[in-house]
Amino acid sequence: MGLTILIADDTETDRLILKTIVTKLGHRVVIATDGAEAVELYQQEHPALVLLDVMMPNVDGLEAARQIKTLAGEELVPIIFLTSLTDAESLARCLDVGGDDFLSKPYNATILRAKINAFNRMRMMHNTLQEQRDKIVEHNQYLLHEQTVAKEIFDKVAHSGCLNAPNLRAVQSPFAIFNGDIVVAARKPSGGMMVLLGDFAGHGLPAAIGAMPLSEIFYGMIYKGFSMPEVLAEINGKLKKVLPVSSFCCAVMVDIDFTSKLVKLWIGGLPDCYLYRSCTGEFETLASQHLPLGILGAQKFNADYQLIEMADGDRLLLMSDGVIEAQDESKQFFGVDRLLQVFKQNQQIDSLFNEIRESVFSFIGEPTDDLTMVEVTMVPLETFADEDEVFEVSAARGAQNWSVNFEFRPETLRHYNPIPLVLHCLMEIPGLGLHNSKLYTILSELYSNALEHGVLQMSSSLKHSSQGFSEYYAERESRLQWLKQGYIRFSINHQPTVQGGSVQIRVEDSGPGFNYQQLQNAMDDQLFHGRGVSLLRSFCQQVVYLGKGNCVEVVFAWTND
């Protein structure tokens, strides 16, 4: 491919010789007769290569080279000096001013062609490099822009809670635009507070993507009154589902009750947390007991927590591994010993948080990893009194005060166990999830009594012997098969209370009922051994038979904790 080549020489014969050689090689030639003209022609023609005589009138070759190189900027314009000089000093000067090579007179066509080709290769390589660089720069800017916009969304989702509460302090140092660490805090409808510090494996976008469902679940469930184990289990399940196998979230979650002064603590995969006791000035170490979130399936996930009593003024220090794994220039870790040293030297507990922060930051210089610390202080309940309204206006707290009625008819009774459906409805009540096994038992007992003794009119006396037991169930099956009429009605009422709620379940069947007065007396006499009824009585605050005995009403009262 022919190039445009600028030849600048004040000697006409030299110009002619060069022009002939270069034109023969297939290139286009532009000619200048002195240095000033050379610079001017360079600007007009943008040649790919410049052949420049060293000694020329007006502007000499060296100065012209300087000017051309300045004009070229980032573009590579190879300049080959034409010279009859041969001393090393003069030749070196040609290269010093920015020339790329020199060509001695008399000109040799073979050498000239080789040099033109070599410099053209270099020029093309340079262009490719710059194109790639520009692409990378553009790409990077695009990426940064995307992340900045995404971060705005992220911040709104992740930091909408009560991180500004007076008893909370948090510090985060972002390694990338997105931090792999997340801190979320929310006040519970019952008045307490929950805080979670999470550290996703990795940082940047992948970590932030996991942080989104985490904070959504955290805020959503806590506002609805779900308990810490329920929230943890839900987050774990969600992360297990969305994160790749190699990714997980080390976390610590705290549930603080300012009335009872009890704190529930769950640590999975994070370094030790510390508890400062204001009465003794001592620090207690709280170690991780669980795997990080997002690794185990629902069956194996363990939400067991440590229960700690904290007096007013006691503090919990939670930190991501970025604190003790902070590295200085020589790749040394900040380490637990330095941290404990800061504890030791602390005079005023209120400044401890800042002392740790300063100590870590002055140790590392430039942060290289996500580094997050949270301090939670136990305070008197009154500290929050004026913030209660925040809850009243916040998002729906889920089903709280409602009732629902079901009627199950023969078709259903024959083929279908309606208990999971009813239980599922009840589980929509925030906080009730923890009691689901008791509720299941209660509902099952109520249902089987209504079905067997009510709708199917069977007597439990058959069940007294082991043979009778199987006969009983065979009979039950056959009666069910032929069931043409009858019903079982469930009416459920839920009333929230200060610390939980009260579920009233009334079950009515189409059966003839029974003499419950007699049952009552029998129970008083300790003669009756109906396991079902005594189970109900042990779980429920109240078990009452109504009407002709085909209707029973139980009340299950529950508390949040």
Partner 1 sequence: MAISTSKSEDGKLTIKIQGRFDFGEHQAFRDAYERISGRPAEYVIDLNETTYLDSSALGMLLLLRDHAGGDEADIKIVNCKPDVKKILLISNFEQLFAIQ
Contact positions toward partner 1, by CB under 8 A?
A: 199, 201-202, 245-248, 250, 268-272, 287-292, 295, 321, 325
Element (H, E) at 488: strand 488-496
Nearer to partner 1, 270 or 488 (CB): 270
Give the nearest distance from C-beta 368 to partner 1 in angstroms. 11
Chain-centroid distance of CA 549 in Å reads 55
Minimum gap (Å) between residue 320 Cβ and partner 1: 10
Cα distances from 393 to residues 220, 223, 390, 487, in angstroms, run: 14, 11, 6, 42
Q: What is the C-alpha to C-alpha distance for residues 320 and 194, in angstroms, rounded to an integer?
A: 17
Residue nearer to partner 1 on the CB measure, 77 or 295:
295
Tell me the closest approach of the beta carbon of residue 310 to partner 1, in angstroms: 23
> Nearest CA to 243 among 267, 212, 269?
212
Q: At CA 310, angle to CA 305 and CA 316, rounded to 5?
A: 70
CB of 372 to partner 1, least distance (A): 14
Q: Which alpha helices (H) appear in 317-416, and where do they start and end? A: 335-345, 352-364, 389-393, 410-415
Which residue number, 14 or 370, has a Cβ lying nearer to partner 1?
Answer: 370
CA of residue 409 relative to chain centroid, distance: 47
Task: Give min distance, CB of 180 to partner 1, in A.
Answer: 9
- Type of residue found at 426: L
CA 344 to chain centroid, in Å, comes to 34
Provide the token pair at 4: 């445009």
Q: How far apart are CA 281 and CA 352, in angstroms?
A: 12
Question: How many CB atoms neighbour CB 541 within 10 A?
Answer: 12
Euclidean distance between the first and the last CA atom of the chain, given in angstroms as a whole number:
83
**Least Å from the CB of residue 272 to partner 1:** 8
Pairing verdict, β 49-53 and 4-8: parallel
Q: How far is the CB of 145 from partner 1 (least distance, A)?
A: 25
Closer to partner 1 by CB, 320 or 377: give it: 320
Phi, then psi, of 102 in degrees rounded to 5: -140, 160
What DSSP string describes 206-259?
HHHHHHHHHHHHHHHHHHTT--HHHHHHHHHHHHHHHS-TT--EEEEEEEEETT
Q: What minimum distance in Å lies between the beta carbon of 361 and partner 1?
A: 21
Nearer to partner 1, 289 or 534 (CB): 289
Closer to partner 1 at the Cβ: 238 or 476?
A: 238
As measured in angstroms, the least distance from the Cβ of 559 to partner 1 is 31
* Least Å from the CB of residue 203 to partner 1: 10
Query: Measured from the CB atom, is 269 or 454 closer to partner 1?
Result: 269
8 vs 39: CA distance, rounded Å: 9
Residue 174 Cβ vs partner 1, minimum distance, rounded to whole Å: 17
Whichever of 41 and 243 has its CB closer to partner 1, that residue is 243
Which residue lies nearer to partner 1 by CB, 289 or 502? Answer: 289
Closest to partner 1 by CB, 161 vs 180, is 180
Question: Nearest CA to 487 among 540, 525, 450?
Answer: 450
Per-residue tokens: 206: 């992948």
Closer Cβ to partner 1, 202 or 220, answer by number = 202
